[in-house]
Each structure stands twice: as C-alpha cells, then as structure tokens.
Amino acid sequence: MIQCKECDLCEIGEDGRRTFKCDPFSNIKEPECIAKWQLIRLDMLVASYQSMLRWYGKLAPIQDKIVRYMQREIDELDEAEQWKLNDEAEDEADEGDKGDEGDEQEGF
C-alpha cells in the first residue's frame, strides 16, 4: 500500500500541512485511499459541528435575554388589554340583568 506522503496527489507544505488532491470519483490510486478520504471528510464534518456548537454556546445567553424580554413584553401587552376584557364581561353581565327585567315588564 502506498503511503499518502509518497503519493503524487499529496502535497506537504513547509508548515507540515497536507493538501490532498485526490478525488474518490476520478483519481484514486489504491482502494485504501477511499477509506482515508472518508476519514478526512469525517474529521472535517466533526470539526464543523464542534465549531457550530461553540457558536451556539456564545449565542445561548443572548437568546435567553431575548426570550425573557419578549415574554415581559407579551405580559405587559396582556395586562394593558385586560381592561377591555373586564369591560366586556361587565357589559355582558349588565345586559343579562337588563334582559331579565325587560321580560318582566312586558308581561304586565
């Protein structure tokens, strides 16, 4: 089995960083290269996921503040609209009382 460092599709930079030019759909030298390529891609996927989790960790306190603020605003709106509900309930109660009295007066 040929090692990646010996392959002409692998370039090693001055800092030791490896760049792979192999493509599993067109120019793989050996069957083991596909397994190596899958491991590299899997490692990249895990690194991306960890980066995303770090961002979520930074955003979590901000999201909590936004949710608390929105909940407070909704509660204040509900309190501000409460007078309408109380007036409607009183109006309905008054109409119910007047309706009973009106029926009695018609009977006389």
The answer as to whether 23 is a domain residue is yes
Q: Is 108 a domain residue?
A: no
Average pLDDT over residues 74-83: 86
User: What total number of domains does the chain contain?
Assistant: 1
pLDDT digit string (tens) for 35-77? Answer: 888 888 899 999 999 999 999 999 999 999 999 999 999 999 8
> Rounded to 5 degrees, what angle do the CA atoms 96, 99, 103 make?
145
The 10 Å Cβ neighbour count of residue 20 is 14
Is 42 domain-assigned?
A: yes
The boundaries of the domain holding residue 89 are 4-98
Model confidence pTM above 0.75: no
